[in-house]
């Protein structure tokens, strides 16, 4: 999952997750120089931290994002080592480049008009052209470098939206109830009671009076414990599992209902979208040539 988004992407007013970014012509007078819309870069004259399929990640941008990330975490009271910050930021910058490259392959490029429109919106948000220029300088961006980073961010956001939009809104789901125990002996005792004819729902309510053990509906890929999910989708309504061991305890589950095309809840949809995005980036990364440039 993408943990950190570079600040330029956060500032780029990316479109909602199911909205496709489209270019619009701006009639305002440009106040920052724009270079012609490039194809995938094959080289960069400035120092880089990594090359992703021949496209460089500028060292200055990477360093600025590391500082921003450390500052943001500190403001939240979260202690993060510089090594962890560097790893997270670099991973996310690589992911952004991969997404932007995917957008170009699908025929989308952020042209000058769209980039200029976004710059003007950013300028209005931060208090004018001078304020935006000051922000660029404070974060190590020249106008040209900022424009290039913003172009890449727009393309990455477009590709992200395509991936999220491909996640179906309905899918197979199960409705599950569980009995959660915290030691193996207790779990075996409960399972013996169930095998002897005890009522599952009554025992679930006994061990969890608040929720009665109801896990609700969920699709494949939603639970954090794959073993529980695997067991749930192997059962039919009314069937009870064996003891399932997880990081939190010992589970016995019962499938209450199954639905082959149930609409996803907002939370489940978000979870599946995150998984789809992470899987796309990971697959793309495995297929890519990524060269890390030593700064020693």
Strands 250-263 and 170-181: antiparallel
CATH code: domain of residue 158: 1.10.4030.10
d(CA 198, CA 191): 9
Domain-located, residue 65:
yes
Q: What is the pLDDT of residues 275-294, one digit of tens each?
A: 999 999 999 999 999 999 87
Q: What is the pLDDT of residues 111-135, one digit of tens each?
A: 999 999 999 999 999 899 999 989 8
Kindly state whether residues 11 and 140 are assigned to the same domain: yes
Q: How far apart are CA 38 and CA 160, in angstroms?
A: 20
Q: Return the pLDDT at 45.
A: 60
pLDDT, mean of each 10-residue run, the chain (296 residues):
46 39 30 40 70 94 91 92 94 97 97 94 91 86 89 97 97 98 96 97 96 96 94 97 96 98 97 97 97 79
Asked if residue 2 is part of any domain, the answer here is no
Q: Which residue has the tokens 């042209």?
A: 111
143 and 183 part of one domain: no
Question: What pLDDT is stored for residue 296 in this prediction?
Answer: 58
CATH number at residue 199: 3.10.50.40
Place of tokens 């450390």: 70
By residue range, what is the domain housing residue 71? 7-166+274-292
Could you write out the DSSP letters of every residue in 180-202?
EESSHHHHHHHHHHHHTT--HHH
Indicate whether 201 and 119 sit together in one domain.
no
């Amino acid at each position: 999952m993408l943990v950190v988004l570079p600040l330029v992407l956060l500032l780029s007013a990316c479109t909602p997750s199911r909205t496709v970014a489209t270019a619009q012509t701006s009639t305002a007078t440009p106040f920052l120089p724009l270079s012609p819309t490039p194809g995938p870069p094959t080289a960069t004259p400035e120092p880089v931290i990594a090359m992703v399929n021949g496209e460089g990640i500028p060292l200055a941008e990477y360093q600025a994002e590391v500082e921003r990330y450390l500052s943001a975490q500190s403001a939240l009271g979260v202690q993060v080592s510089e090594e962890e910050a560097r790893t997270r930021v670099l991973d996310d910058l690589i992911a952004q480049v991969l997404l932007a490259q995917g957008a170009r392959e699908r025929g989308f490029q952020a042209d000058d008009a769209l980039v200029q429109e976004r710059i003007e919106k950013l300028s209005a948000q931060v208090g004018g052209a001078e304020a935006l220029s000051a922000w660029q300088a404070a974060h190590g961006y020249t106008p040209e470098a900022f424009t290039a980073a913003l172009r890449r961010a727009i393309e990455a956001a477009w590709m992200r939206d395509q991936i999220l939009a491909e996640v179906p809104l309905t899918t197979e789901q199960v409705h599950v109830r569980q009995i959660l125990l915290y030691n193996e002996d207790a779990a075996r005792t409960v399972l013996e009671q169930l095998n002897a004819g005890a009522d599952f729902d009554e025992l679930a309510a006994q061990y969890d009076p608040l929720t009665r053990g109801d896990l609700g509906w969920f699709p494949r890929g939603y639970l954090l414990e794959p073993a529980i999910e695997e067991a749930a989708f192997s059962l039919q309504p009314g069937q009870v599992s064996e003891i399932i061991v997880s990081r939190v305890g010992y589970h016995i589950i019962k499938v209450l209902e199954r639905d082959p095309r149930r609409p996803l809840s907002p939370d489940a949809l978000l979870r599946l979208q995150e998984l789809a995005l992470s899987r796309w980036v990971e697959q793309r990364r495995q297929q890519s040539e990524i060269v890390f440039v030593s700064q020693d």
